[in-house]
Amino acid sequence: MDHTDLVAIKQRFGIIGNSPLLNNALRIAAQVAVTDMTVLINGESGVGKESFSKIIHQLSHRKHGQFIAINTGAIPEGTIDSELFGHEKGSFTGAHEARKGYFEVTNGGTIFLDEIGEMPLGTQARLLRVLENGEFIRVGSSKVQKTDVRVVTATNVDLMESVRKGKFREDLYYRLNTVPIFVPPLRDRGEDILLLFRKFAVDFSEKYKVKPVTLDPLSQQLILKYRFPGNIRQLKNIVEQISVLEVDREIIPEVLQKYIPKGESNSLPELYRPGSDGNSIQEREILYNVLFDMKKDMNDLKSLVHKIISKDDEAARVLSEHEGLFKEVGFDEPSQAPAPFVVEKQNEPTPTYDLSKIEDIPHEAENESLSLEEKEKELIIKALKKNNNKRKYAAKDLGISERTLYRKIKHYDLES
């Protein structure tokens, strides 16, 4: 698929953004649409997985058939079989007449099953039969019926983990995962955040008959750093609130932060409150933001180095001689620092080194400091293996931020 085709798909389906991850997902969706293969769409809540299911349906030969989107996690376990496969009259209390299920109604079309990981095991067995043979049985019936339905599923959980826990059938997982599509979270789409902000601002200006809101340069930098746990849905809600409530249509950082939920804004740097003037103040704000992030990263690094060298006798001795280096990360109490290691040499005092002067450190000390990187690398590898390469939890185990861990993974070339 060339760039022109990709642009045409975006225009047709109202897709905003140019990030490589988004473009790759769209290419896969367009390529698989012309087949009848089962598709599993992976992505966090609010990234737009249903939009991809509609793209697949509209670009397929089933586009004139019916399309139904079902949130399987929202249907009670006692009625989901009836909803999907139908039931006969009198098959259960309240079944006063026979009813067709979605797989019967959408014969020749497409069914989108969202939150497939929440589907009960019994229903999973019925779904597997539909996928393998195109057959289903209504609740309360013994008659096998046929259906020709394209199934597209989506999940925001790790299905393989659900398989290991016995909550999801392994055979169904591999049957659904014929073609996986990953829809990236908003925080990984870079400048797309600003494009979407402008799109929503224009939409709400038309809806509420007001001038569109805009972000000043510093606010743009702040919103690009926010993680958006609610993804596109959350961004849209924020823009709508700002569009309705704010009188000044150019949004400054102080105003923007009012709409970031407390407890979720920790990915934003602290703001320097500007005084009077203009461009020089904005530049100073940006510089302070950068310094704030660097200081936090340095403290994370100190914390990790402290953990590493506390386990090494010679390094512990050096640490005890330079306790001041670690006061900022909470190791200012003497009881928290490891006991100094004393090297007893006959008629020879234990040497001390000025760590601020590299030339004062002998070759053996240089080798010792170089070995710290190997130990740090080993700890990171162990933490990643322990947490199945989930960097959020690995960072937590190591006592560092995710951002610091990402940078170190790149530094040590540990990306898989």
Q: In tens digits, what is the pLDDT along the chain, a chain of 416 residues?
A: 778 889 999 999 999 999 999 999 999 999 999 999 999 999 999 999 999 999 999 999 999 999 999 999 899 888 999 999 998 887 777 778 888 999 999 999 999 999 999 999 999 999 999 999 999 999 988 899 999 999 999 999 999 999 999 999 999 999 999 999 999 999 999 999 999 999 999 999 999 999 999 999 999 999 999 999 999 999 999 999 999 999 999 999 999 999 987 655 444 444 444 444 444 444 555 555 556 566 666 666 666 666 665 555 555 565 565 555 555 445 444 444 444 444 444 444 544 444 444 444 454 444 544 567 777 888 888 888 888 888 888 888 888 888 888 888 888 888 75
The DSSP code sequence of 159-196 is: HHHHHHTTSS-HHHHHHHTTEEEEPPPGGGSTTHHHHH
Q: Could you give the maximum distance between any two Cα atoms of the chain, in Å?
A: 101
Q: Render the burial of 21-42: b for 16+ CB within 10 Å, e for the rest.
A: bbbebbebbbebbeeeebbbbb
Structure confidence at residue 383 (pLDDT)? 84
Q: Which of 67, 176, 175, 71 is nearest to 113 (CA)?
A: 71
Are domains 3-184 and 188-267 of this chain identical in fold? no
Structure tokens at 114: 């969202």
User: Strand ranges (DSSP E) for 188-305?
Assistant: 214-215, 250-251
Question: Rounded to whole angstroms, what are the CA distances from 55 to 22, 61, 112, 228, 315?
Answer: 13, 12, 11, 24, 59
Structure confidence at residue 357 (pLDDT)? 45
pTM above 0.75, yes or no: no
Question: Rounded to whole angstroms, what are the CA distances from 231 to 36, 45, 49, 56, 273?
Answer: 30, 7, 12, 22, 28
CATH fourth-level superfamily of 3-184: P-loop containing nucleotide triphosphate hydrolases (3.40.50.300)
CA–CA gap between residue 158 and residue 118 (Å, rounded): 11
Instruction: Please give the CATH number for the structural domain made up of 188-267.
Output: 1.10.8.60
Structure confidence at residue 326 (pLDDT)? 52
In what helix (H) or strand (E) does residue 155 lie, and over which residues does it extend? strand 150-155
Structure tokens at 204: 């709400």
CA dihedral 243, 8, 62, 54 (to 10 degrees): -20
Domain ranges in the chain are 3-184, 188-267, 278-411
The DSSP code sequence of 306-336 is: HHHHTTSHHHHHHHHHTGGGGGGGT--SGGG
